[in-house]
Amino acid sequence: KSRMRVRRLVLRPVAAAAAAVSAATAAAASTSASTTASPPPILYGTAWKRERTCELVLAALRAGFRGIDTACQPKHYDEAAVGAALETSGLRRADLYVQTKYTPLAGQDPDRLPYDAAAEVEEQVKHSVAASLRNLRTDYLDCLLLHSPLPSHEQTLRAWRQMEAHVAAGEARALGLSNQYDAAALERLCEEASR
């Protein structure tokens, strides 16, 4: 009983914050003519939820979250359960901001890879994006992130260019990079990325 009380105490402020975020997002979206949805100020992260992923994503959506962050990284995420929650939520896809990540080989569990470890990085990105679209039960991603830089700048740029191809194909609407702590490497990637 005390566990339920703690959960309610924790979820109430989260629900209030999510409702405020949802209202702000709706207001921003109504003034934007762009086909790329603006990310909500707060996204619900789905890492480490395991068998409770679907249940917890549904709870977040009911609480007012409209932005969901996941990754094609079975080691830490259950992307298919996120997709099941999105599909059963009753919300329109256009009202959601769905962000996922291509995770390079170093961040994957070698026993549960979403792509062929021996494939070129471009093929790994292609297979990862295809798996994400299938898992999330959608035909586009609002944002596709490179989960972390690859071992070399050349490999990172190759992955990025493949991600750009997914934007050109309409499968992703925006790109991003996480876990990049080297400002010079980030600047170089920005300079060499397609415009």
Catalytic (active-site) positions: 77
C-alpha torsion angle, residues 182, 185, 187, 191 (rounded to 10) = -170
Q: Which two tokens stand for residue 80?
A: 């298919």
Phi, psi of 189 (to 5 degrees): -60, -45
- In contact, 77 and 134? CB cutoff 8 Å: no
Query: Rounded to an integer, what distance in angstroms lies between the CA atom of residue 103 and that of residue 36?
Result: 23
Encoded tokens for 112: 């549960």
Q: What are phi and psi of 95, to 5 degrees?
A: -90, 5
Residues 6+ apart with CB under 8 A from 28: 38
Q: Determine the 3-state secondary structure of 159 from DSSP.
A: helix
User: Cβ(88)–Cβ(58) under 8 Å?
Assistant: yes
